[in-house]
Amino acid sequence: MGEKGRIRKSFQAIVRRSRLRIRPDRRNHRPRPSAWDGRKRGTQNQAIGRSRGGLTTKIVALVDALGNLARFVLLPGQRHDSIGAAPLLDGIEIDALIGDKGFDNDWLRKELDERGAIAVIPPKADRKTAIACDFAMYRWRHLVENFFCDLKQFRRIATRYDKTDQSFAAMINLAATVIALK
């Protein structure tokens, strides 16, 4: 309006100029990740966790009476050992479970009692009521420690060269087969 439409022309010039000056960077060279792949990457599903020594993986193993591997579960390094007990005991029949103080839980002792199995687990020092433990049978726990000692002789397992938990589990199975064939 105004003199021969001068306000309208000047307003259009301002809008046109601002459109040229203000450009978000992502329209030009896309500094954000592409949206075509929605899955997360990294170590969240690979049984790698952070503990005192850095990135680590725990192997919770169940061995038979001869010290051969029966089952195992991979856990991230910061997870407690007793978390892996439930999947190890699922679907098998045992007479006794020999474990260290890390497996001294009320729910694990209750489950073993319901199955009719003996829990040979020494009580932790902070337990209010002392629970009896058969230390003569507990001496057989060295079979588990010997298995892990033999397993750590394989450098690829001791340092976890594998990125994925599937390939790491496959190497543990392969090493356990070699140990059993000795």
pLDDT at 29 over 70: no
For the chain, give the percent of residues with pLDDT over 90.
Answer: 41
Closest CA to 60 of 41, 79, 43: 79
Q: How confident is the model at residue 48 (pLDDT cuts 50, 70, 90)?
A: confident
Give ∠ CA 62-67-71 in degrees, rounded to 5. 25
How far apart, in whole angstroms, are the C-alpha atoms of residue 85 and residue 104? 11
**Domain range 49-181, CATH class:** alpha beta
For the chain, give the longest Cα–Cα distance: 108
What is the pLDDT, as a whole number, of residue 41? 64
What is the pLDDT, as a whole number, of residue 176? 95
Q: Categorise residue 67: left if φ over 0, alpha if ψ from -120 to 50, beta otherwise.
A: left
How far apart, in whole angstroms, are the C-alpha atoms of residue 179 and residue 162? 20
Q: How confident is the model at residue 130 (pLDDT cuts 50, 70, 90)?
A: confident
Determine the straight-line distance between the first and last CA of the chain, rounded to whole angstroms.
98
